[in-house]
Structure 1
Amino acid sequence: MQYRRFRAPDMQKAIRKIRDAVGPDAVIMSNKRLPTGEVEILIAIDYDGSMAPTASHQSAARKSAPAASTSSRAGQPSPSYQERIAQARSLSGSAASPKPKGEAYEVFEEAPVAQPNLYAEPEPAIQEDLSIRPHTQERPSPDEEKLRAMEKELEQVRRMLEQSQEDKQQAAAQASAVKRQTYDQRLHEQLKTLGLSDRVIDKIVSDLSLTGREEDWKKALSHLADSIPIRSSTEAFSGCIAFMGPTGVGKTTTIGKIAAQYVLKYGSQSVVLITTDTYRIAAHEQLRTFGRILNVPVEVVNEYTDLNEVLDKYSNYSLILVDTAGMNPRDRNLERQLAMMKRARGYLKKLLVLPCTSQRQVLKTVVDVYSQIQLDGCVLSKLDESASLGEAISVVIEEGLPVMYVADGQRIPDDIEPARAHNLISRAVYTAEQFGQLYGALKYGS
């Protein structure tokens, strides 16, 4: 068995040095602090606690304590086993071999093992915990305690700063949300004055980045105009067009306006008027009157004729306008009218006339009924009689129905023009302002 003595500035470094040098099989026999301030640890290598003390240890013990041996032989009580271990450890320091240069430990060679005394009383093993640990834990120095206290204080300050930053961010987010909600409500109320539906308003407001300034209103109106589907103005006042819709929406008047504008611009040689309204008494007389004034032919499609035959007859004309019977969406005869339009030539464009004076739900019902014939667009009529254009605008946006013409009066041929989105929104704002002033005057009697 070998002994080694290690020195280091402190206990942790000594333990680390022992672990690096001999591994975890070392047994710490003793440790002490030297006058120089270093820590010295004595360890045993290949230590077997079950073995009896060696002869060298016994002889060293006899030399150092002859009186004890004599007294023992004389029948006096012998020293305890723990005392003998302490004596062996003290003797090991004096019997150590010179320390090699450049090393912080000393090596002791194990003496030859004496034959065990079979009659000796068995002694307990002194095997200690091999997980090299210092017997005592050093207390930190005052400087280290101050440093740890400062680190704790700095950690607390850091946490306080982080919490304060999070609180500021949450407060800013809440303030921003409150401002956004305030701006949304204000803009929602402004758009509501135009008569727009909540669905359209929510879509407009959600698409905008609001600032709470006057520019929010302008951006909302511009975005609303961009949301309106519009047919190209180059397609207006040309081709083969059929006008459909309920009673009294202005189908025949719209045909008269378009025909008059075309005749004034290009002449009456390429215009023909066709009517399929044979359900009302003298329903086609108004259209015949337009034909006589404009000097254009007028054809009536009844149960004895076919619409496609009439269209083929005038296929070389530049403008063919077809008037249909105005019917309630719940009228049974409307199915026959729709079936005729379904069988019509593919080049026949079908436009639905929607009066801006009707309620939003009525307009939506009309669109749902006539949509089975694949409408190509619509005409917004009676803008001059309406107190709010938002209902009709909401329907065309929600249904995706392109607007081709807008009609705002009874004058022929002046009160009709191709649809333009921004002009329509400007008219809606103007109508809402005029109606608000009129309503205020009636309410307060001024």
Structure 2
Amino acid sequence: MKIKKYTAASMHEAMKLIRAELGDEAVILSSKEVESGGFLGFFTKKKLEVVAAIDPMPDHKPAKRNEVRRAPAASSVQVERNIQPAERAGRSDEDLVREVNELKKLIKEIKPAQPLSEQEYPLPFQTIENQLKGQGVSRSIRAEMLGTLLNEWYKKPEQDRDPKALLNQTAEWLKKELSILPVGGLRFEKKIINIVGPTGVGKTTTIAKIAAECVLKQQKKVALITTDTYRIAAVEQLKTYAKILNIPIEVAYSIEDFKKAKDLYKHFDVILVDSAGRNFRNKLYVEELSKVMDFTEEAETLLVLALTSKYEDMKQIIAQFSLLPIKQVIFTKQDETSSYGAYINVPLEFGLGAAYITNGQNVPDDMKEATIEQLIEPVLKEAEHE
């Protein structure tokens, strides 16, 4: 591997020489601000120190996810170190030892590459970065995506770089990443559908919406089971929905009650199960759920997340429920927020698909089946008009 360290006025300048000398396959290993010049510590100038590398072997492996590849054209930059493979003939053992030690020292200094600041991106990229950051898209996702797009940007001749096309390229990158995940409504391949989540996210209303969707639009024979015996109001609310939809409901206080109810409804097409909402920080919560609910292979479990929650809280919620076999989430309360970064963060950082999005209290109207376009569009909406 060939590793070089550069000191430049900006990442833009550093990337020009990296591409000119190392080529398009170069990888940025680290970047950090350093001070140079000056006199007795005064009048120093801030510069960017960048470490880049290239594998000279033709069968090198592609970059892993989250490795940011950046590559541009040519400029005046100070080259501080150039370490090349040590296989050349005629070198003494001393030379080889010195070079290996120098390489080891450099590797120890390398830190994970940091995402560029808004000011270090070309102007069109700054617009995208500000939009994604404002929507709460995580820093690691922004860095990976913009690093990929930046690489493509500098591969093109300057006259072919179209700032107007950048937004579409951003959307296409997100579509590609989301396309490998289960995005879309329930296919009802399993009879039992468990709805879980912390308190206050709208589980009971959501389960009523799914029940109405099944009964009114898909003509399915549906039954309800609720294990939420902590809140009388929740049980009564679900019983009211069941009466309106003319479907049966059972209350399960234990796993034995749950099994009896499941056996009672064995001839139904779908059994929807409402769960108790508790404080997600309570580590015993998920264990308590398993005492009154069935999470076997014949059941499908969906996690409900409110878009009004902080993303840091969402991450804790997902961690708490990670013991359960969850493949999809339901995003609720879309109408109560203007920040939609979770639409991107949850799928790409946790590998969870999205089944539904709810945007109000009306049953069954305020719920829509999730699509990739519906996850991306709110995140990029404001940037479309800039």
Note whether the superposition's TM-score is higher than 0.5. yes
Q: Give the counterpart of 2:205 among 233, 253, 268.
A: 253
1:309 is aligned, of 260, 283, 286, to 260
Amino acid aligned to 2:147 = S
Q: Where is the helix percentage greater, Structure 1 or Structure 2?
A: 1
Structure 2 spans left out of the alignment, 5+ residues:
1-16, 22-71, 78-115, 154-160
Note the alpha carbon deviations across 1:90-125, whole angstroms, 9 max, x for none: xxxxxxxxxxxxxxxxxxxxxxxxxxxxxxxxxxxx
Does residue 410 (structure 1) correspond to residue 361 (structure 2)? The answer is: yes
Q: Normalized against structure 2, the TM-score is what?
A: 0.62
* Partner residue in 1 for 2:147: 206
Cα distance in 2, alignment partners of residues 237 and 372 from structure 1: 22
For residue 235 of structure 1, give the secondary structure of its aligned residue in structure 2.
Answer: coil
Bigger mean CA offset, 184-193 vs 349-358: 184-193
Query: Structure 1 residues 223 and 236 mapped into 2: Cα distance closer, same or farther (>3 Å)?
Result: farther
2:87 matched residue in structure 1: none
| Bigger Rg, structure 1 or 2 | 1
Aligned to 1:292: 243
* Contact 2:227–2:275, Cα closer than 8 Å, also in 1: yes
Unaligned runs of 5+ in 1: 1-165, 438-446
Letter of the 1:255 counterpart: I
Q: Does the CA-based 8 Å contact 1:351-1:379 persist in structure 2?
A: yes
For residues 257-285 of structure 1, what are the alpha-carbon distances to aligned partners after superposition, in whole Å with 9 as ceiling and x for unaligned? 111122212446x1101100111234311
Q: Name the SS of the counterpart of 1:306 in structure 2.
A: helix
Q: How far has the Cα of 1:187 moved from its partner?
A: 3.2
CA distance in 2, matches of 1:319, 1:267: 11
SS in 2 for 1:413: coil
Pair 1:248–1:233, CA change in 2 (3 A): closer
**TM-score w.r.t. structure 1 length?**
0.54
1:5-36 Cα deviation digits (max 9, x unpaired): xxxxxxxxxxxxxxxxxxxxxxxxxxxxxxxx
C-alpha distance in 2, partners of 1:230/1:300?
31
* Alpha-carbon distance between aligned partners in 1 of 2:226 and 2:296, rounded to the nearest angstrom: 16
The alignment yields a C-alpha RMSD, in angstroms, of: 3.3
C-alpha contact (below 8 Å) 1:354/1:392 kept by paired residues: no
What is the Cα deviation at residue 174 of structure 1? 3.5
Aligned-partner residue type, residue 246 of structure 1: P
**Which residue of 207, 221, 229 maps to 2:171?**
221
Within-5 A mapping of 1:287-436? 287-303=238-254, 305-331=256-282, 334-340=285-291, 343-430=294-381
Query: Quick one: distance in 2 between partners of 1:331 and 1:249?
Result: 16
- Are 2:83 and 1:174 equivalent residues in the alignment? no
> What SS class does the counterpart of residue 411 from structure 1 fall into?
coil
Query: Once structures 1 and 2 are overlaid, which stretch shifts more, 336-345 or 409-418?
Result: 336-345
CA shift at 1:412, angstroms? 1.1
CA distance in 2, matches of 1:241, 1:424: 23
- Aligned CA distance change for structure 1 residues 266 and 335 (closer, same or farther; 3 Å): closer
1:260–1:343 Cα change, 3 Å: closer
- In structure 2, C-alpha distance between the alignment counterparts of 1:304 and 1:234, rounded to whole Å: 25
Q: Deviations over 1:42-73 (max 9, x none)?
A: xxxxxxxxxxxxxxxxxxxxxxxxxxxxxxxx
Distance 2:353 2:169 in 1: 22
For residues 305 and 242 of structure 1, the distance between their equivalents in structure 2, rounded to whole angstroms, comes to: 17
Aligned-partner Cα distance in 2 for 1:362–1:379: 16
Cα separation, 1, equivalents of 2:268 and 2:290: 25
Q: CA separation of 1:266/1:190 partners in 2, compared to 1, >3 Å: closer, same or farther?
A: closer
Mapped to 2, the partners of 1:424 and 1:412 lie a distance apart of: 22
Secondary structure, counterpart of 2:377 in structure 1: helix
Q: Percent identity?
A: 34
Contact 2:192–2:298 under 8 Å retained in 1: yes
3-state SS of paired residue (1:351)? strand
Task: State the alpha-carbon separation in 2 of the partners of residues 349 and 195 from structure 1.
Answer: 29
In the alignment, the residues of structure 1 paired with residue 305 and residue 187 of structure 2 have an alpha-carbon distance, to the nearest angstrom, of 19
- Count of aligned pairs: 267
Superimposed CA distance per residue, residues 178-214 of structure 1 (whole angstroms, 9 cap, x where no aligned partner): x994254443223223321111111211232233511
